Chain A
Amino acid sequence: MALCNYYRKRKLMDNLVGWWIRLMVFLVVALPLFITASLLSKSWLILGHISLPELLFSSVWRPLAGEFGFWPFIISSLWVTFIGLSLTAPVCLLSAIFLTYYGSRRLLGFMQPIIDILAGIPSVIYGVWGILVIVPAVGKYLAPMLGYESPGFSIMAGGIVLSVMLIPFVLNILIEIFRTVQHDLLDASLSLGASKWQTIKHVVLRKSFAGMISAFGLGLSRAFGETIAVLMVVGNVVGVPENLFQPGYPLPALIANNYGEMLSIPMFDSALMFAALLLMVVVVVFNMISRRTIIYLESRQ
């Protein structure tokens, strides 16, 4: 009898925990839908008043007059992301190749903590660093050197700070991807008399081309959503910037800056939620494509 109870108790516990687990799995899997639904329901108001193309491509931003054109913010976001990514890409690519194929295990052991710490530094700290170092450097040296005038707080400064933040993120993925290239291929190429760099150039880079693009795709989606560090150095002036040394106003910064005043005007509130939705859609689409590619590549070998 006692034994029977004991078994029943174990069975009951197992079932209870099983249901807890099922509930949690369901909640987590449904979370992206919750987020999309809540943002969509909030931005329904503005989508009903202004057509989607006008929202996206008009550059008139007068919230008090009920005119919401997101083009200045979208273009700022695109430029900041583009600069960030194009500065990060070569550094990450070269470092990843070096750490995977040239460096010793000891070097990788030394570099891994450094990459981890770079990845762990909060974005507000990068923002402070940007204000201390990058903003004056852009305003006083870089812009005059290229023949522009700049207040320092500019799209360029945002891009540079962003590029530093992206390095650990992209680098880790690239190292991961280079590791999946089969060693047989390398050995075959080397045994034919190709030098190490030739092997990397013609075998590794070609073999992992899709993976590299996905790594940059993930970096892009990370860059697109980065808020506070960029906000601190980018200047936050509404308007389509004339050149990269002028202040810009990316989408995340728009949301973060206007939170206080948005509640009083329902339309403004809705517009900001639309901005968040837009941000999420762009990021998720890039993420999905890149992840799918990486999963495909990993399953192929």
Chain B
Amino acid sequence: MWWRKLEEKIVYFMMLISVASLVALLLAVLLSIFIKGVPYISWEMISQTPRGGYYFGREGGVLNAIVGSLYLSTGAVLLSLAFSLPLSLAMNIHLRTRRKTVNRIRFVLDILWGIPSIVYGAFGFTLMIYLGIQASLLAGIITVGIFIMPIMVRGMDEVMKNVPVHLIESAFSVGSTRMEVAFRVMLRQTIPGIVTAILLAFGRGIGDVASVLFTTGYTDNLPTSITQQTATLPLAVFFQLGSPIPEVQNRAYASAIILTVIILIISISVRMISKKYHKII
């Protein structure tokens, strides 16, 4: 009998360690970035574009990358919304009675969700050549928009699935058209969940390198139109870290902090939104 109890104790102990290690890992990742980068973060980093000689360690900042990333992700989210919103509404209202079709669509979305971003990058690049556009903000928006679409649909579908059936059915029974049910009942019920899904997709879009590596190019200027090239924050981290000059490398750590803070803000707002509206849905 005693070895069973011992086994239970040992396993319990190992489980405790692995759960604790999750917390430790998160702290380790965040702390190592912050400790390394905080001394080099300054107002100049956030508020200026690179000046001449920036990549040799002279003055300037990564404003071009911050603005570029925000433009890119916002554009991508808007583009993706045009696909994901009708799709998730369709799965939960129009095709509500055709379970098999809906399950097939969900399966396709799961497959799309699993395709690595570098493949989307390569696809975006070939698409760019077919459409005859140069590496630009527009090409980046299209690529990232496609890449975050399945993430967004999954988030929206998840909340729409949980809307009570009787609510939808009573709306139908008083004579609403499908469109009215979709926009006046479903959408209104699930707005917090939709915002969460959008934020999650935004976070995924802003942090990804592999999909924009081929499509956005890189420039030190602020983009003024969508046909221009643009810098992005993760790419700025990556390029600066590849430099042999220590000052530039240090700025990569500072840029990494900026990116991490953006992601943390998104994470926390998602948490707050879903906590606040949890009871309503």
Cβ contacts B165-185/A at 8 Å (1 or 0 each): 000000000000111101000
A252 within 8 A of B: yes
Tally of contact residues, B, Cβ under 8 A = 85
Which of A11, A39, A227 is close to B209, meaning CB atoms less than 8 Å apart? A227
Chain B interfacial positions (CB closer than 8 Å to A): 4-5, 7-8, 11-12, 14-19, 21-23, 25-26, 28-29, 32-33, 36, 82-83, 86-87, 89-90, 94, 103-105, 107-112, 114-123, 125-127, 130, 146, 149, 153, 177-180, 182, 200, 203-204, 206-210, 213-214, 234, 237-238, 241, 252-253, 256, 259-260, 263-264, 266-267, 270-271
Contact present for B25 and A118 (CB under 8 Å): yes
Contact present for A38 and B115 (CB under 8 Å): no
- Distance (whole angstroms) from the CB of A9 to the closest CB of chain B: 11
Q: At the interface, is chain B mostly helix, strand, loop or mixed?
A: helix
In the complex, what residues of A have CB within 8 A of residue B117's CB?
225, 227
The distance in angstroms between the C-alpha atoms of A22 and B146, with both chains bound, is 18
In the complex, what residues of B have CB within 8 A of residue A185's CB?
none
Contact present for B149 and A28 (CB under 8 Å): yes
Cβ contacts A220-232/B at 8 Å (1 or 0 each): 0110111110001
Q: Considering the complex, give the chain A residue whose CB is closest to the CB of B208.
A: A122
Interface members, chain A 109-127 (any B CB < 8 Å): 111, 113-118, 120-127
- Distance (whole angstroms) from the CB of A37 to the closest CB of chain B: 10
The distance in angstroms between the C-alpha atoms of A203 and B109, with both chains bound, is 32
Which of B5, B29, B210 is close to A126, meaning CB atoms less than 8 Å apart? B29
Contact present for A225 and B116 (CB under 8 Å): yes
Given contacts A25-B86, A39-B126, A128-B241, contact A291 B260 (CB under 8 A): no
Given contacts A25-B87, A125-B260, contact A102 B15 (CB under 8 A): yes
- Distance (whole angstroms) from the CB of A256 to the closest CB of chain B: 6
The distance in angstroms between the C-alpha atoms of A81 and B149, with both chains bound, is 26
- Distance (whole angstroms) from the CB of A144 to the closest CB of chain B: 22
In the complex, what residues of A have CB within 8 A of residue B33's CB?
125, 128-129, 132
Contact present for A94 and B15 (CB under 8 Å): yes
Contact present for B122 and A283 (CB under 8 Å): no
Which of the candidate stretches A49-57, A62-70, A191-199 sits at the interface with the other chain? A191-199
In the complex, what residues of B have CB within 8 A of residue A17's CB?
86, 178-179, 182
Which of A18, A90, A120, A224 is close to B263, meaning CB atoms less than 8 Å apart? A120
A155 within 8 A of B: no
In the complex, what residues of A have CB within 8 A of residue B149's CB?
28
The distance in angstroms between the C-alpha atoms of A69 and B111, with both chains bound, is 28
Contact present for A125 and B108 (CB under 8 Å): no
In the complex, what residues of B have CB within 8 A of residue A283's CB?
114-116, 119
A176 within 8 A of B: no
A46 within 8 A of B: no
The distance in angstroms between the C-alpha atoms of A42 and B26, with both chains bound, is 41
Contact present for A98 and B19 (CB under 8 Å): yes
Chain A interfacial positions (CB closer than 8 Å to B): 10-11, 13-14, 17-18, 20-22, 24-25, 27-29, 31-32, 34-35, 38-39, 42, 90-92, 94-95, 97-99, 102-103, 107, 111, 113-118, 120-129, 131-133, 164, 167, 171, 195-198, 218, 221-222, 224-228, 232, 252, 255-256, 259, 272-273, 276, 279-280, 283-284, 287-288, 291, 295
Contact present for A116 and B271 (CB under 8 Å): yes
In the complex, what residues of A have CB within 8 A of residue B180's CB?
10, 14
In the complex, what residues of A have CB within 8 A of residue B238's CB?
124, 127, 228, 232
In the complex, what residues of B have CB within 8 A of residue A120's CB?
200, 203-204, 207, 263, 266-267
The distance in angstroms between the C-alpha atoms of A118 and B28, with both chains bound, is 11
Contact present for B118 and A98 (CB under 8 Å): no
Contact present for B19 and A167 (CB under 8 Å): no
Q: What are 14 sample pairs from A and B whose C-beta atoms fall under 8 A apart?
A: A14-B180, A94-B14, A98-B19, A111-B22, A114-B22, A117-B26, A128-B256, A133-B28, A164-B29, A218-B114, A227-B209, A228-B238, A272-B122, A295-B107
Which of B18, B234, B260 is close to A95, meaning CB atoms less than 8 Å apart? B18
In the complex, what residues of B have CB within 8 A of residue A256's CB?
118, 121, 209-210, 213
